[in-house]
Each structure stands twice: as structure tokens, then as C-alpha cells.
Amino acid sequence: MPTPTAQDHRLVMLEAVLAAADIGMLVLDSARRIVLWNRWMARYSGRTATEVLGRELHAVFPELDNRRIDAAIAQALRGFPSVLSQTLHKAPFPLVAQAGGPRMQQAVAVTPVALPGGERHCLIQITDVSAAVNRERLLRVQALELRSQTFSDGLTGIANRRHFDVAVEKEVRRAKRAGTPLTLLMIDIDHFKAYNDHYGHQQGDETLVRVAAALASLLQRPTDLLARYGGEEFSVILPEMDEPQALAMAEALRRRVRALDIPHGHTGPAGEPFVTISIGMAMLDTAGVASVAALIGAADRALYDAKRCGRNRVMSAPHG
């Protein structure tokens, strides 16, 4: 029996490495016939090396209709490597990790291979990136959930104070830049401390949720923002809405909450025996200071006036 040579040993070692590699490897000749097909490719394609060797790539994968892969192969056979964008080409080869499962998410590299004699081949390497893609998807979902939690009120589900602070700054800048109107409503549930004291905090929370939902139901434009400003106080940002329209909206909000007919037997002798709201309205003074603080301050003073004048009403801040 002839003694194995060093070259024979290297070939055995190469075959063992190709079989053990946790990556798909196939080599095409200049006619795009498959001349190498490792065990990884057999496992995830369901096709053995015996079935595919010597066959043209598209004969093995007739469903492989990907112009970018064809272009990459042509480029590699001319001596230039390429890597397919995983974002644009998520699963080009029909490979599955489990029978009946979805296509494997793939990273694909196509590399030229020059053999002695000048004949060109190309090596296609396929990496399973499904776990990484799923991990990125999970991180995106978690980031969106965290953002939602960061900018949403935990009780009512509407925007929270932090969201309001960011939005009002942005809308004031936009209104000043474009010269468009901007209205801010500050809303407070009347006699809410007495309501909580009498009916309990659990029912108080339920009423906050109902009031928030009633207010939100009237805000149809995507630019409008309803936020829980704090406690029983809400705020509404109304971009590009003139004063008559904003006043009509404020009145509609006040009536909508009153129409809930939530009993409140501790509003005092002059109050209605139902939950009501008071609203202070202010327009951004683009001719004056036109600051966030000035806008909020004007709406707060108007809300105080509404409370002082008997509650369950809308008061508008004076201009100038």
C-alpha cells in the first residue's frame, strides 16, 4: 500500500475542515456548474453533494431568481469579490433550518477563485444570520416599547408630561418659523380632590381614564396632542388652529366630559353634581416673546380664571 503523502494529508484535512465549517460553501466553475458543495449546504438545502455536483446553479435552485446574485457571480468570475446587502437580500437561497420552517436569514459573500491554468471559479459563502436578525428585531421591539413607556402615561395611555415637554418645544419652534397659529389648552378636572376623598383613589383613577378617553376622542388630527400634565390636569396642543376654531374645540371638549354624566356629589352648592372640567386657552404670541414658558403661563392663568369664575367653563387668555 502506498504511503500517504503530505499532499494527501492536506486534502484529507481540507475535506474535514469543509465538512466541519459552520458556514455554507459552494464553488462554481466558469459555466456556473457546482464543483464543490460542503456538508453545511447539504444539511440546510436538503440536497446532497452527489445530487448537485456538475449541475448548473439555477438547475439546482430554479427558484433562485435574484439578479444581484447573478451579477455578483459574474463579477467574481471576472476577478472581483462582492458582498450582498443583508438588508436588501435577506434570504436569497432556499435554505431552511427546519423542515417546513421559514427561509433562513442569510449573509452572502461571493469571492473569485483562481486555479492554476487560469480557469476562474467563484466561491459563494452563506452564513446563517437568523439569530442575529431575530435579536435585532427583538431589540427594535423592545426599544419601541421602551419609547412608548417613556412617552406614555401609565394610567391613561395618553402622552405623559415628558412627551408634552418635547412636543410643545417643537411646536413652538415650528409655529415661530412658519408664522402659523398655535393654541395650548390647560385642562383641570373640577373638585377632583373632593372626588378622590369621597369615592376613593381607585374610582378616581377610573374617572381619569374615562376623561382622558373622552378628550382623546375629539382630537382627530395627527398633529394634535393630548397629554396628562400631572395629577388631574391635562394639556392639549393644537397646531395651525386659529382662535375661533380652538375655542370651539375647547368648548367641545368641555361638553364631552360633562356628557359622561359621571356622578360627583361633592362639587359644592354652586357646582353640578357631575364631573366637569375647566379649561384655560392661550394662543402663541408670535409678535411678542413667543416662548414655551410664556404660552404655558398664559394658559395657566386662563385656567385659574375659569376656576375663579365658577368652573366648568373655558376662559381664553388676553392677547398681548
Rounded CA gap, 265 and 103, in Å?
63
DSSP state of 8: H
Q: Which of 8-12, 33-37, 98-102, 257-261 has the lowest mean pLDDT?
A: 8-12
What is the DSSP code string of 77-120?
A: HTT--EE--TTT-S--S--BSSTTSPBPPEEEEEEEEEPTTS-E
- pLDDT(1) > 60: no
Amino acid at 191: H
- Phi/psi for 297 (5° steps) reads -60, -40
DSSP state of 190: T
The partner residues of 277 in beta bridges, in order of sequence, read: 189
Per-residue model confidence (pLDDT) at position 207 = 97
Give the model confidence (pLDDT) of 82-91 as tens digits.
998 877 888 8
Do the bridges between strand 24-28 and strand 120-128 make them parallel or antiparallel, or are there none, so unpaired? antiparallel
Average pLDDT over residues 230-255: 96
Report the SS3 class of residue 32: coil
Q: How confident is the model at residue 98 (pLDDT cuts 50, 70, 90)?
A: confident
- Asked if 289 and 305 touch (Cβ cutoff 8 Å), the reply is no
Rounded CA gap, 89 and 213, in Å?
43
Q: Which three cell numbers stand for residue 217?
A: 376622542
Give the model confidence (pLDDT) of 248-306 as tens digits.
999 999 999 999 999 998 777 667 899 999 999 999 977 666 789 999 999 999 999 99
Per-residue model confidence (pLDDT) at position 24 = 95
Q: Which of 31-35, 175-179, 270-274 has the lowest mean pLDDT?
A: 270-274
Write down the residue that cell numbers 401609565 correspond to: 154
- Asked if 243 and 183 touch (Cβ cutoff 8 Å), the reply is yes
Rounded CA gap, 307 and 64, in Å?
71
Give the model confidence (pLDDT) of 183-203 as tens digits.
999 999 999 999 999 999 999
Give the model confidence (pLDDT) of 125-162 as tens digits.
999 998 888 888 888 877 776 665 678 998 999 999 99
Q: Which three cell numbers stand for residue 36?
A: 464543490
Return the closest-CA partner of residue 289 out of 170, 172, 180.
172
Q: How confident is the model at residue 66 (pLDDT cuts 50, 70, 90)?
A: low
- Asked if 27 and 73 touch (Cβ cutoff 8 Å), the reply is no
Q: Which three cell numbers stand for residue 255?
A: 361638553
Report the SS3 class of residue 179: coil
Catalytic: 232?
yes
- Asked if 69 and 92 touch (Cβ cutoff 8 Å), the reply is yes
Q: How confident is the model at residue 4 (pLDDT cuts 50, 70, 90)?
A: low
Per-residue model confidence (pLDDT) at position 308 = 94
Rounded CA gap, 33 and 57, in Å?
6
- Asked if 280 and 305 touch (Cβ cutoff 8 Å), the reply is yes
Rounded CA gap, 233 and 211, in Å?
11
| 232, 240, 243, 272: the active-site residue | 232
